Each structure stands twice: as C-alpha cells, then as structure tokens.
Chain A
Amino acid sequence: MAEERESLSPTKIGLGVLWPTFWTGLPFKLAFAVLFLAMGMMHFEGRLGLAFIMLLASPVTVFALPIITMGLDSHIGEGAGIGLLFLLSIPIDIWAFGVVGRTFFLERLRREPPDGLGMTLWWKSALVGAVFLPILWVVVGAVTSTGIAIAHSLMELELLKGIPVAERISIELTLWGSVASAVLIVLLLIGVSLVGRLIRSMAQAAPPVSESYQGVITRWDLMRVPADQGLMLTSLTGAGVVLSLLFWATLPVTTPHPHECCKQPEVKAQPPLKPLESLTKNEKVIAQLSAQVDVLEKQKTEGEADKGKAKGKAGKDKDASPAKKP
C-alpha cells in the first residue's frame, strides 16, 4: 500500500483532487445559476453544454474564461449573471478544494494536510488553468477545423464521391472527431498532471500521519461531520427556503418565449367600480335624458299643433278658392 501511494502518478493525483472538487462545489453554484436564469440575468445561446462544463470546472476556468472570452473572442453566453456567477464560485471552490484536499492528503497520501490547503490549491489550479486552457482552446479549435476541412476534402475525392450521404456524414465525423477527441484528451491529461505535480510537491513537504488506517479513516470521517449539526441543518434549510422563495418570486409567470401565433391581446384595465357613485351618476344621466325626452316630446307636440293649424288654414283657403273660379 505504501509503495502504491508513493508511485501515484501526477495525473492520478490531479484527477483524484480535481474531479471530486468540481462536483463538490457544483450544487451550490447550480443553485445560483438557476436563480440568475430565473431573474433573466444571463442567457446561454447554443452552448449550454460548454457553459455547464465551464461552471463545473470553475476551479480551473475562473481566470481562463475571461481570457478566452476577451482574448479569443469566443463567449458562452450573455448577461451580467455569468461574471457574477464566476465571482461567487471563488469562495465555493476554495471551500471545495479544502474539503477534498484534506481528504485526499489523509486517505490517499497519508500526509498531514497543511493549513490553508484550500486557498493554496485554488490559486495554483486557477493559475495553471489561466495559462493552459486558452492554449488548449486554440489548439483543439485549430485541430477540429483542420480535421473537418481535411475529412471533407477526402470525401470529395472522385473515388469516394459515390458514398451515400448518411455514410459520408458518419465517416467524416469519425475521422475528424477521433483526431479532435484524442488531442483534447491528451491535452486535458497534461493539464491535470500539471496540477497533480503541484499537489505532489505540496504533499512531499507535509509530514506523514502517525495513526493506523482505521484511525485515519475515523479522523477523515469526523472531519466531514460539522461541529454543530443542528446549526448546519438549520442554515441549509433556511438558505434553501430563501432561494426557493426568490426563485418563485423571479420566475416569469408567462412564457419568456411567446409564439408569433399566440400574441396576447392588449387589455386595458377597467377603472374600479364604485356602486354609489355610479348609481348617482346614472340617476343624473337618466334625469338629464328624461328631461331631454320631455323637451323633445314638447317640441313634437308643438310642431304637430303648428302643422294642424297650418293644415286648417290651408283647408279654409281651399274651400274658398272654387267660388272664385267660374
């Protein structure tokens, strides 16, 4: 066992620390990510998978992301939430590195974890990421685009032109995909082994643990149990309740992506109904209208009377006129 510990390769050490660290901090970061998405503070276009990997690996991408975004003109999305999320990730990652690093030192390396291990591991890994990841980004990008071009031109050869579309797609994808994946894996392993070398040099400087395996396991086990479990449970529940309330408060009630087919008609709000006022108003209107009707009826009667008089006069004239004729 002791030999196995001594012979742990830098890649194994790097993976043994980085992999659990990525996942330890993720639940907390995801909670903030969902909240920012609900608030509309960040938008991912077509690269959600890449955004997830960047967030998952924030212990090494925290400085690399701005370099890739600004220096290489490539971004994972838009909105102030992305920057804020990566800022919030810093304390979470330091804590995650601390928990995982102490466990790894005790359980796998059987060394006393030094003080401030989380902070030291975080800044060293972030620095390695800041230098290494932009290089990886450029190299893998170049290999992928060259691979696609070569695979495409190979399939354009007269000899291979008769290959049906479905087969052609799969062959092209296999050709450039395997080359790009191989380069990506090799570069990732180099990056991980760089972090592993840093951890190994720290471990070599640390004193070995004196307890038996059972003693180390008990210590490692107790280290993960919070001193005040009630307080931890209460604070976690409280944080969960606050986050849930914030989530439901900020979640859009209607779809943020309305279809063209289903546009909501603009509805103007009706003024509030005041029964007494509207009754009085209506009574006044009715009184006014009935007065108007009275006036109209009066006018009509007078008009008819005038017409009658005029008719009577005209009749008298008619009766009188034949006498004058012969």
Chain B
Amino acid sequence: MEHSSLPSTQPTAIEKVVAFIDERVGLKQMQAKMLNEPVPGGSRWAYVFGSVLLFIFIMQALTGILLMFYYVPTADHAYASTQYIIHDVDYGWFLLSYHFWGSTAMVVCVFAHMSQVFLWGAYKSPREMIWLVGLALFGIVMGFGFTGYLLPWDQRAYWATTVGVEIMDKTPILGDFMARFLKGGPTPGQMTLSRFFVIHVMILPAALMGLAGLHLFLFRAAGPAGPFRGTPEELKAKTDYFFPRQIWKDIVGMVVVFASICALAFWEPVVLLEEATPDPGDYHPEPEWYFLFLFQLLRLKIFAGEFGQFLGAIALPGAFMALLAALPFIDKDPERNIFKRPIALIGWIVVMVSILLFTVSAIINREFLD
C-alpha cells in the first residue's frame, strides 16, 4: 500500500523546474504580487486599454522583426524590398498590413487610455507621475508612427516625412537642428532613411520598454484609482483581485483588438504608391491620418505665413501638451466624478469634436485638390 501511494507524492518534472527557479528568484512571490492586486470596485472593461496597448506593442515588435528579415533600409532597395514583401514573401502582405494597422490601433488605444484616465480623474494625486510618464509614452507612440511611415519609401512616405520635418523645423531654437539631424542632408535621402530606421527599430522600442516598465511600476506603487462613483460599501463589496476577472477582460480586449486589426488588414491591405522621388508630380502630400487634423488646421488662413505656421504647428500643440503635463498640478480638487467636473468634460468634448471635425475636413479637402 505504501509503495503504491509513493508516486502521487513525488513532484512532477514541471513542479521540480518551478521549485528550482522559485528557490533562486522568488517566482511564487513575484506571481502573487503580480496577480493578487486588489481592484477597488471590481474589474471593468474600461481598464483594459493598458494591457491591450502592451499586447499591441508585442505584436508590433513581432511583426516588425519578421518584416526586417526581408526589408532593406537603403534608398535604392527600400521600395523594391517592400514590394517584394507584399508580392513574393509568403504571408508577407498580411504581416505588413497587420503591422501598418497595428500602428493605427496603437494610436487609437493610446487616445482611449488617456481619455479614460482623464475622465476617471485618475491623473490626480497620488498618480501625477503615472500621468507624466504616460504622456511621454504617448509621444513615443506618435514617434513610432512618424518614423515608420517613411520606411516603405514610396511617394506617400517621402512627402509625409518632408511635411513632418518641415513642421518640426519651425520649432524655435531646436527646430533647425532637429530637422537637419533627421534629414541628414538638404532633402530626404539615404541618411534620412537610415536615421528613421534606427530610431524606429532601436531607439524608440528601447525607450518604450523602459518607460512602460516605469509606468507599470508607478501604477503598482500608487494602486488602481477605481471607479469615480459608488458608496464605500458598494466599492468594498465589489472589490476584486487582478486575477482572474480583470485578466480575463484584458484577454478578451486583446482578442477583439487582434481580430479588428486582422479585419482591417483584409479590408485595406497596404498598397504602395510610386517609388519616392523629389518631385511630387500629381501626388498631394499629406501626413498619416492621426496628424491630418493638425495638417488641416494649418491650411486655415489664420495660420498662414511664417508666424501663423509657427503658431499652428508648434505653439498651439506645444501649449496643449504643456497643459496636459501641468494638469495634475493645476487641478487639485479631489473630486473625480466627471459629471461633477464640467470644465474637464466640456474641454474633453471640445478637443475630441475638433479633432474629428478637422480630420473629416482634411478628407473632404482631398476632393478640392484632385
């Protein structure tokens, strides 16, 4: 009897490996710390954006690495190698289209995540640092979109970059240096492509990983803010741990985003224009869709001329970003309910409607140019 009961008490091979690692790095303690985080008021769908963003970044890194096996970052071969990825590499068209739409999904999710934090009042004390690091991450995501746009080296890529760098050139003091540094010459060429490629695949991913880690660390140190409504009794009754409910919601959020990106890749796969040349020909230069509102804003008469361009391209967006950075220090009212913060609510609606209005205007403007 004793002999037959022995095998059941013996640890399996996996258990032995886990015990070995646990003894050295404290795996179980780490796991408990990561999963047993209390979520005040229980898990919510509104909290999934952070995890979804991490998922999109991992998928972007994965598809980006696969694309790098075939992509050649030289002015002579960038276009041809991208065409080769689309037309000759097995599933290359899907990988490239997924990567392209993944960047769009990342921008949308960043907007959604920032909006959620803003509307929930989750930037308020003691979470100011999380908000500031989040703003830096927002800048990095925009940087990813800007630098990645040039890499296919078609007319769209070339002219979007030219417009973007010209806007950057209008920044006082640093603008000229930044524009010259990015271009590496009087017009975009090999040096521009090399620099954008290095920034896109080396500098920005490293910066994003570092800052995302810091963002998570600060978030865990301060703890989740929880819902802005509900009595303490209700919040206590509903309080849950991060595992399993929030993790389950996060996974569903990731599946939805993955399926949406796949659907977009099928609906509108990446199609290149003509190879980049310093002559725009019939092509009307315009930036990626998430910069379209700014581009359309600069077409207004009020922003014409050297000073107007500076005002629209640098001063206004700069002031807006500065206001966002200063927000937790200006808004010290502990009230988090958005329906009791009318200025914040109206401000958010105005910004969102303006972005939508100018983006749609830019799309309608194409008809006038054609």
Contacts and interface: CB of A to CB of B under 8 A. Distances in A.
Given A44-B267, A259-B83, A27 B368 contact: no
A88 interface: no
A30 B259 contact: yes
Contacts of A170: 296, 300, 357-358, 361
Contacts of A213: 233-234, 237
B259 A34 contact: yes
Q: From DSSP, what is the main secondary structure of chain B's interface residues?
A: helix
Contacts of B301: 164, 166-167
A258 B87 contact: yes
A31 B368 CA distance: 39
Interface stretch (B57-65, B88-96, B178-186, B206-214): B88-96
Contacts of B91: 251, 253
Nearest to A40: B266
Interface size class on chain B is 35 or more
Contacts of A320: none
A31 B94 contact: no
Nearest to B45: A23
Interface string B344-370: 000000000000011011001100100
Interface in A249-279: 251-259, 261-262, 264
A256 B361 CA distance: 31
A259 B263 contact: no
Interface residues of A, number: 37
B256 interface: yes
B264 interface: yes
Interface in A191-224: 213-214, 217
Interface string A211-253: 0011001000000000000000000000000000001000111
B90 A31 contact: no
B137 interface: no
B364 A169 contact: yes
A216 to B, nearest CB: 9
A56 to B, nearest CB: 10
A38 interface: yes
A170 B295 CA distance: 13
Contacts of A174: 357
A169 B94 contact: no
Contacts of B88: 254
B368 A165 contact: yes
Given A27-B259, A255-B269, A167 B300 contact: yes
Contacts of A261: 83
Interface in B222-251: 233-234, 237-238
B352 to A, nearest CB: 13
A37 B263 contact: yes
A167 B301 CA distance: 8
A87 interface: no
Given A255-B86, A258-B87, A169 B368 contact: yes
A224 B88 CA distance: 48
B87 A264 contact: yes
Contacts of B262: 34, 37-38, 247
A33 interface: yes
Contacts of B238: 217
Given A217-B238, A256-B269, A262 B358 contact: no
A27 B255 contact: yes
A30 B256 contact: yes
B176 to A, nearest CB: 27
Contacts of A256: 93, 266, 269
A259 B93 CA distance: 12
Contacts of A142: none
Contact of A262 (B87, B90, B256): B87
Interface in A284-315: none
A255 B365 contact: no
B271 interface: yes
Nearest to A107: B238
B87 A254 contact: yes
B87 A173 contact: no
Interface string B2-15: 00000000000000
A262 B79 CA distance: 12
A230 to B, nearest CB: 13
A164 to B, nearest CB: 5
B272 interface: yes
Interface string B259-287: 11011101111011000000000000000
A255 B269 CA distance: 8
A167 B237 CA distance: 54
B252 interface: yes
B299 interface: yes
Contact of A30 (B260, B267, B268, B358): B260
Interface of A: 23, 26-27, 30-31, 33-34, 37-38, 44, 48, 52, 164-167, 169-170, 173-174, 177, 213-214, 217, 247, 251-259, 261-262, 264
20 contacts: A26-B256, A164-B301, A165-B365, A166-B301, A169-B361, A169-B364, A170-B300, A170-B357, A173-B364, A174-B357, A177-B357, A213-B237, A253-B90, A255-B86, A255-B269, A256-B266, A257-B93, A258-B87, A259-B86, A264-B87
Given A37-B267, A251-B94, 19 more contacts: A31-B259, A44-B267, A48-B264, A164-B300, A164-B301, A166-B299, A167-B300, A169-B361, A170-B296, A170-B300, A173-B357, A247-B262, A252-B94, A253-B91, A255-B87, A255-B93, A256-B93, A256-B269, A257-B271
8 shortest interchain CB distances as A-B pairs: A255-B93, A166-B299, A30-B259, A37-B266, A262-B87, A34-B262, A169-B361, A170-B361
